[in-house]
Amino acid sequence: MIVGNIRDRERYGGLGEKFRLALEYFATVGEEELQKGDIVLSDGETLVKVRPIVTRPAEECPFEAHERYADIHFVAYGRERIGYARTENMTKTGYSEEKDTLQLTGEGVFVPLEKGDFMIVFPEDAHQPCVCDGVPCRVGKMIAKIKL
């Protein structure tokens, strides 16, 4: 797991071209209200899911992980917390081959993300996105799916 802010995106270029491309795209996003949709970046492979959300209590947000993809969770506006734990410390409850989503239960720690922050999670990183910090709020959320 890596947590950073978009203003420091150049530091993460060593992760590879797909990561660099996604972070550069996120840097172009303004503060306007996001509309739900999917965007394929210029490499033709990297998908950005635009998902404006309202954060929810942790008990309403499941843990997940992915076997074939890394995710970059980016907050364009608003604030969310993302639960984090190593998958090896969680209980696996299911897997969707089609969505490459491993469902997990267990306990983790919360990482706060605010405007401009991102979290990169890899297959060993269970994550619990969309968690509120007290009061639910609107978040301009984008997730880049990076095929590994």
pLDDT digits (tens, 9 = 90+) for 89-138: 999 999 999 999 999 999 999 999 999 999 999 999 999 999 998 999 99
Across 36-65, average pLDDT: 96
The amino acid sitting at 18 is K
Task: Judge if pTM exceeds 0.75.
Answer: yes
Task: Say what the pLDDT of residue 71 is.
Answer: 98
Closest CA to 117 of 84, 79, 83: 79
pLDDT at residue 32 greater than cutoff 90: no
Secondary structure of residue 10 in the 3-state scheme? helix
User: Is the pLDDT at 31 greater than 80, yes or no?
Assistant: no
CATH assignment, 2-147: 2.60.120.370
Please report, for the chain, the start and end positions of each structural domain, with discontinuous segments joined by +.
2-147
